[in-house]
Amino acid sequence: MAIPKAELHLHIEGTLEPELAFHLADRNGITLPHADVQALRDAYSFTDLQSFLNLYYELMDVLRTEADFHDLAEAYLTRAATQGVRHAEIFFDPQAHTNRGVPLATVINGLSSALDTSLQRHNISTSLILCFLRDLPASEAMDTLHAARPHLHQINAVGLDSAEVGNPPEKFTEVFQAAADLGLHRVAHAGEEGPADYIWQALDLLGAERIDHGIRCLDDPALVTHLATTQTP
Ligand SMILES: [Zn+2]
């Protein structure tokens, strides 16, 4: 608690706790496929990335309104403050919401309404990172970037996440270039389950300033040397 911390890898939808999930489900008249809070908590026992992602996407159904996204972010910030977090760079997955009919403005305005008061309320500075879902077509990522243009003052960077293997960074070269042209920072999940070559692609083709996960870099000593030399987190 006493040590000030920076949270650099935080998926806001992944912070949804069972209690809040049930509260939001109730508020929106949704029935979750879990008997109670404890049953849902028990379901948080993951065996791999996909089993995590399945529950992650299922629970998002309770996020419908600006107030839901505000409450999600506010709950995270309240909890983070108790752990000494002083800065948080927060990922969100817009396509996971727009693809089920929630407008992009609802997502961004809801999250932003909590982030905007975070410094005063929680002493936590924040950044917001719009992530593209890499298992969807690059054209849909480009559509998402275009739709986000009215919100550029609320977004600091773009990122890339979700199911990695078979969805290499090179697929998103064009959309990351477009994001750079808009003045956005760029980060990417790479080498989480995919090969070290995906990390090279994220650096060379996407201009990623930070690699998220990146653990497979250990398979490629030249890459580790490069990351160390360039001081790329
Ligand atoms: Zn991640």
pTM of the shown model: 0.94
Q: In angstroms, what is the span from residue 181 Cα to ligand 1's centroid?
A: 24
Q: Within the chain, how many helices (H) and strands (E) appear?
A: 11, 6
Q: Tokens 């505000």 appear where?
A: 70
pLDDT in tens, the chain (233 residues): 689 999 999 999 999 999 999 999 999 999 998 999 999 998 888 888 788 888 888 899 999 999 999 999 999 999 999 999 999 999 999 999 999 999 999 999 999 999 999 999 999 999 999 999 999 999 999 999 999 999 999 999 999 999 899 999 999 999 999 999 999 999 999 999 999 999 999 999 999 999 999 999 999 999 999 999 999 99
| Residue 91: predicted pLDDT | 98
Phi-psi region of 42 (alpha: psi -120 to 50; beta: other; left: phi over 0): alpha
d(Cα 190, Cα 196) in Å, to the nearest integer? Answer: 8
d(Cα 148, Cα 169) in Å, to the nearest integer? Answer: 21
| Residue 190: predicted pLDDT | 97
Q: In angstroms, what is the span from residue 183 Cα to ligand 1's centroid?
A: 23
Write out the catalytic residue numbers.
Answer: 192
Q: Tokens 């309240």 appear where?
A: 78
d(Cα 217, Cα 194) in Å, to the nearest integer? Answer: 10
Where does 4-59 show beta strands of DSSP type E?
5-11
Q: In angstroms, what is the span from residue 220 Cα to ligand 1's centroid?
A: 21
Fold classified for 5-133: TIM Barrel (3.20.20)
Q: In angstroms, what is the span from residue 161 Cα to ligand 1's centroid?
A: 6
| Residue 58: predicted pLDDT | 87
Residues in contact with 227: Cβ distance below 8 Å, sequence separation at least 6, in sequence order: 199, 211, 214, 217
Residues in contact with 212: Cβ distance below 8 Å, sequence separation at least 6, in sequence order: 9, 159, 161, 187, 188, 189, 190, 192
Q: In angstroms, what is the span from residue 178 Cα to ligand 1's centroid?
A: 22
Where do the structural domains in the chain lie, given as residue ranges?
5-133
